[in-house]
Every structure is written in C-alpha cells, then in structure tokens.
C-alpha cells in the first residue's frame, strides 16, 4: 500500500493496543524477512505495526527520511512507539520528540554522524547526504530526549560502534535502559533477534495505557 507516497505494509491485530513504526537500516527495505517476522511478533502481541521502505535511495538524506517518518507517525493512532534499526535508530532518535511518540527502542543505532559519514563503507554515501548529516547533532538530541529509550547493542558491532551508543546512553536523562549482547551488527535470526524483539515488546507494553 502507498501512504504519503511511501511503500508500506500494515500488520493489524483484531484489537490494537498501540502502534509501532518500524524504521529500517540504511539501504534495507520493509520486506526483509527478519523485519516481517519481527513485525508479526509485535502484531501477535496486540500492536498495530507499520513498516515502510525509504523513497528514492539515490537521493537519500537524513532530513528526507526523518520527514517521511514524521509523516507516517501522523497517520498512526496513539500511542505510537518507534523501533529503529541501525540508520533507522538515528531517524527514530530525531523523530522521538513528536507529541504522539510514547517511547523508542533502538537496535544497533547509528549515533555518531561524523563517524558514519567518514567511515561507513557498506554503501557509497553521496556528498548531499554527508552535508545533510552535518546539520544534526545526535548527542545533543540524546541530551534533550524526553521519551523513554531502550538501546539494544552488540558488543562486537563494527558498523555502529558500541562505544558511541554507550556515550549516547549516558547523555539521556529520560527513563532509559541499555542492553548489551555478545553480537555484531547484523543478526537477523537466532538468540540476538529473539532477545531484542522480546526486550522491545516488554519496553513498549509497560508504557501502554
């Protein structure tokens, strides 16, 4: 389905107790097999889940992805929760100030935008994206964060380094929890997948009502 010009898929339980917006990794899509499985798990627990694919990846910027995330938040019934993975964690951090957002869960999030702009090698980054990232201070955003935040990180992550997530966590003054796993960056199945899904579900369920 198309929502605000974005390719989306909606998981709708018989009676939804809240909405979760899934925000994907840098060049990932809504239809990654592990993302579908995680969305179904959230839906089975009673959450309405919306997953989406970034538009026009050739001209990608954080500003554009953030604007699209906010446009989707606006369509969802409250309370709204954000689950961001990798790049999606960065988007979620900056979207968390939206009045409809109740809490966020970040799995292996991009935090240090300067490091990402200069050291990320899995996909080429455009100059437009690099320049756009300069206008965002994610550590400052963490200091200003007023929503409950769950950070789920891998101690052996070489893409989104755990020391950056630990620094971000230390700056958050809102309710927070950091869970560190013996894992790398991409673990689409197995214990890391199951544990991060369960931890996020518990985090969101405690903030219903």
State the pTM of this model: 0.95
d(CA 39, CA 47): 9
At residue 188, the pLDDT reads 55
Of the candidates 192, 163, 204, which has an alpha carbon nearest to the alpha carbon of residue 80?
A: 204
Report CA-CA distances (Å) from 175 to 53, 82, 102, 158, 186. 30, 15, 12, 27, 27
What DSSP character marks residue 20?
E
Cα separation of 99 and 32, whole Å? 29
pLDDT at 162: 93
Query: In which residue ranges of the chain is pLDDT below 70?
Result: 187-189
Q: How far apart are CA 113 and CA 32, in angstroms?
A: 25
pLDDT on residue 199: 97
Structure tokens at 59: 């001209």
Structure confidence at residue 189 (pLDDT): 53
Characterize 114-134 residue by residue with b for buried, 16 or more Cβ atoms within 10 angstroms of its Cβ, and e for exposed: eebeeebeeeebeeebeebbe
State residue 187's pLDDT score: 62
Predicted local confidence at residue 57, as pLDDT: 75
Q: What is the pLDDT of residue 185?
A: 78
Sheet of 47-52: strand order equals 2-3, 6-11, 47-52, 18-23, 80-85, 101-107, 149-154, 176-181
What angle is formed at CA 185 by the lines to CA 193 and CA 59, rounded to 5 degrees? 110
Was domain 2-205 assigned CATH 3.30.460.80? no
pLDDT digits (tens, 9 = 90+) for 57-104: 778 999 999 999 999 999 999 999 999 999 999 999 999 999 999 999
C-alpha torsion sign, points 203, 23, 114, 134: negative
Q: What is the DSSP code string of 179-194?
A: EEES--S---SHHHHH
The domain spans of the chain are 2-205
pLDDT of residue 56: 81
Answer left, alpha or beta for residue 76, where phi above 0 means left and psi between -120 and 50 means alpha.
Answer: beta
């Amino acid at each position: 389905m198309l929502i605000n010009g974005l390719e989306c898929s909606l998981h709708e339980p018989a009676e939804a107790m809240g909405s979760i917006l899934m925000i994907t990794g840098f060049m990932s899509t809504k239809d990654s097999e592990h993302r579908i499985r995680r969305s179904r798990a959230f839906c089975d627990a009673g959450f309405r889940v919306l997953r989406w694919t970034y538009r026009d990846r050739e001209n990608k910027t954080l500003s554009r992805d953030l604007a699209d995330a906010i446009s989707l938040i606006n369509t969802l019934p409250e309370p709204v929760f954000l689950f961001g993975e990798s790049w999606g964690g960065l988007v979620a951090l900056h979207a968390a100030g939206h009045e409809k957002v109740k809490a966020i869960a970040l799995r292996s999030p991009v935090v240090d935008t300067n490091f990402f702009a200069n050291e990320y090698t899995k996909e080429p980054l455009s100059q437009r994206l690099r320049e756009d990232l300069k206008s965002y201070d994610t550590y400052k955003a963490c200091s200003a964060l007023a929503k409950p935040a769950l950070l789920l990180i891998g101690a052996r992550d070489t893409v989104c380094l755990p020391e950056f997530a630990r620094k971000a966590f230390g700056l958050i003054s809102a309710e927070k929890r950091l869970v560190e796993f013996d894992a790398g960056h991409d673990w689409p199945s197995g214990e890391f997948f199951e544990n991060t899904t369960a931890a996020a579900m518990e985090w969101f369920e405690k903030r219903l009502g």
